[in-house]
Each structure stands twice: as C-alpha cells, then as structure tokens.
Structure 1
C-alpha cells in the first residue's frame, strides 16, 4: 500500500486532529480565564467553533466514503486481492479410498469388475461375485498362490451361467495373504 492510495484518509485524520487541538485550546482558554468574562466568551466561541468544525469534518468524511463506495461499487471495503492463484486444494490431490466388501467377518479388497481386472498376481483367497439389483451374491470362492487370469479359469463358463450370461455383472474381491505363512485360507 502506498501513501498516495491512503492520502484522503490521512487528510481526514489531520482535520480531526486539528479540530481536537482547537477544542483543547478553547477548553484551556475557558479554564484559565478565571473571572474574566471576555476570555470566557472567547473560550466558548472557540469550543463552539471546534464542535461545528467537528460536525462539518464528520459530514465531509461521510460524504467522501459514500461517494467512494458508490463510484467503486464497494471495492473500498473489500480486502486487497492476493497476487497469483491459490494453491490447489489438498482434497483433490488424494488418491481414491480403497474399496472393501465385508464377507462374513473378513474384509475383502474390491469388488472390482472382472472384465477390467481378471488377473490375480498375489497369493490369497478370492471370490467371484454376481451383481444383481445393486447387491453382490457369492458364486465362487477360490485361493491363489501364483499369478493367474480368471477369464481363463476352468469355472468361468459356470460363473457366466450363474450370472445371466453377462460378464459386466461379474466382480472380483480378494483377501490377500501369503499362504505359506498364514494358514487361514481353509478357515476363510
């Protein structure tokens, strides 16, 4: 902010300061007058003139801000704009939350469309789901120890038969675990 942008405010503050000094001077003249009537009258005139000057200064200030507001459509009262653009929102930079589906008491990753994700490359238990009316029905549960393509699975035609012959309704959910370390594949 430069001094020239705020020059009218400085001038108005200076006017208020001058009126205040004149008011103090009038009060000093009245108090120091004692019984001298002429000095008391002079002090009263100074006080009245300073009050008139205060009223006029307030009126000028009101008119100045009103005209400034109307001409600039309120831009005087707005905060100054920040140069440059704001940084992008952090919410937009987060990856999507992982999907889970609860089967019995276990949380399986997924469901994912079998049409788009037919390769299992980790060891674990997987389930093939059929989506009907927004709900998932389990049509197959299997386990996997090495990478395999589910669209080439021996039961693939059976899955299609149980899901109205539509690949778009077949979904995959997986519970990843190393088989040699944890033996709950049979438990699941």
Structure 2
C-alpha cells in the first residue's frame, strides 16, 4: 500500500477534527497527519469550541451530531474566529435541511458518513468555483435507507414499534426490513 502524498496546504496546515466516534476520530486524524495536516482532535461540542476559540485552525472537519450537542455550534464559533477557515460538516445520514443549515452557517462542504480521508481532503481543498469530484464508491440508495433505519432503530432503544411510528412505517414492514441483511 502506498503512502498518501503530502499536500500543499499553505502556511497553516492546522486541522481540527470534532467527532464523538473515537475509532473514526483516531483513524481520520492519522490519515490526515500522513497528508501533512497538523491535527487537533475533540470529541465534544465543548472541547471543539474551546479549541476553535483558543487556536482557530485553517481547516476543520466537524460531525453534525455529537453527544453534548450540535456540531454547527462549533462551526459558528470557528467562523467567528477565522472567516477564511475551510470547514467540512460530516453526518451519519444526509438531509437537505441540515446541509442547507450547515452551509448557511459557514461550512464549505457537507459529507455523509462513512467518508474516507480522500473524500474529506477533496472537500477541504476544493475551490469555491468548482464542485468537488463525486465519490468513487458512493453508498447505494438501499444502503443509505438501511443506515437511516438502523440509526433511528438504535435511537429508539431497539424498539420496533416506536421506530416504525417515527419512520411512518408499518411495524411488520419494518420487522421484515430489520430481519434482512444490510445491502452493499
């Protein structure tokens, strides 16, 4: 396996990554360091805001939903401290309303998880005029649907009836979907 190429990040390669998924956070931090970023990590809104206030980075990757609040709060603090910062918002499932909110607050781009380091770098470094390249292997529509159902199911403490109610779906239909294997 080849090492990722060092990127030309300008005079300030500082990068803040805010995510409460510890495994993802560490993996992305290592990958970004290999590409030449000076990475700082935070696992909460509180920690992210503290770093954004004390040492506003040139780049940021911020998860939308964190255990102690909304990642957009970190985006607002960072944008106030450093207007030119390039900010990518990540989320477990994409919705047009949250994408619009993220961009209005000052995010440069918006990616759905699971996003790999190459997608994140493309989003961080893309120019304002050009759209970033589409991902090489995007999730299928069936997979996105499956991920969304699983997320709501977990948020409802694995209660099928409550999950079905929140998804406006018949309980038996949901049970059949949950009994199947995840799509690729």
TM-score bin, normalised by smaller chain: under 0.3
Give the alignment's TM-score, normalised by structure 1: 0.21
Structure of higher CA gyration radius: 1
Give the alignment's TM-score, normalised by structure 2: 0.21
